[in-house]
Amino acid sequence: MSESLKGQHAGEASADERIRLSIPVGMLLENCRSGGFSDDEIAEMLNARDYSKLPERVREPEMEFAERFATAEEMGEDWERALYEGYTFKFLHVGALRRLLHFRHGLAVERDYVQDELDLRGVPLTEEEAEELQATIVRQWAVEPEQGEGAKPGTYRVGLKFRG
């Protein structure tokens, strides 16, 4: 893996300093961002509990926004700081990883990349996108440039860090 993927993204907290979010809360933020809203607009809507603009623009309009926001409050997760400074997931299973790729980049398994058990292969990302993805999923997943015969430039393998 390139040294740049191991380091922190410029201007953001390191992985150890980032807020840790649960899957429901992280997916809420990612879905809101998928609609092209700025962090300020998202914070304003969530703080006002006004979810009316979200369904018409986000990738998953049927998401229960109010329920997910209530989860963030009940769990005491600092979603607003996470929104502005970055975050990592407390835990992230492969299905949630696929959703994250869908929300952030509009990518879908089988159409844009393949899943081989717990590895996602051929994920098309820029180096910057790969770095940010790594910073978000650093606790248990590794993002590495695809290697080997047939590997296309600009594609990545995302796999579990620790295997028994």
Q: What is the pLDDT along the chain (164 residues), one digit of tens a residue?
A: 343 333 333 345 666 789 999 999 999 999 999 999 999 999 999 999 999 999 999 999 999 999 999 999 999 999 999 999 999 999 999 999 999 999 999 999 999 999 999 999 999 999 999 999 999 999 899 999 999 888 888 999 999 987 55
| 119-124 and 141-145 beta bridge pairing | unpaired
pLDDT of residue 148: 85
**Co-location of 110 and 64 in the same domain:** no
- Picking from 58, 85, 112, the residue at the C-terminal end of a domain is 85
Q: Report residue 14 as tokens.
A: 């390191």
- Picking from 32, 57, 85, the residue at the C-terminal end of a domain is 85
Instruction: Decide if 43 contacts 106 (C-beta within 8 A).
Output: no
DSSP classification of residue 103: H
**Co-location of 29 and 71 in the same domain:** yes
**Co-location of 43 and 8 in the same domain:** no
**Co-location of 97 and 156 in the same domain:** yes
**Co-location of 113 and 159 in the same domain:** yes
Please say whether the dihedral angle defined by the alpha carbons of residues 28, 79, 131 and 40, taken in this order, is positive or negative.
positive
**Co-location of 1 and 62 in the same domain:** no
Residue 18's Cβ-side half-sphere holds a number of Cα atoms within 13 Å equal to 27
DSSP classification of residue 152: P
**Co-location of 58 and 120 in the same domain:** no
**Co-location of 69 and 122 in the same domain:** no
Q: How many domains does the chain have?
A: 2
DSSP string, 38-94: -HHHHHHHHHHT--TTSTTTSS-TTS-HHHHHHHHHHHT--HHHHHHH-EEES---H
**Co-location of 160 and 97 in the same domain:** yes
**Co-location of 98 and 63 in the same domain:** no
Phi-psi group of 47: left, alpha or beta (phi > 0 → left; psi -120 to 50 → alpha; rest → beta): alpha
Instruction: Decide if 14 contacts 157 (C-beta within 8 A).
Output: no
Quick one: how far is CA 77 from the chain centroid? 16
**Co-location of 105 and 139 in the same domain:** yes
pLDDT of residue 161: 87
Instruction: Decide if 24 contacts 71 (C-beta within 8 A).
Output: yes
pLDDT of residue 13: 62
Domain residue limits at 138 = 1-18+93-164
- Picking from 85, 102, 126, the residue at the C-terminal end of a domain is 85
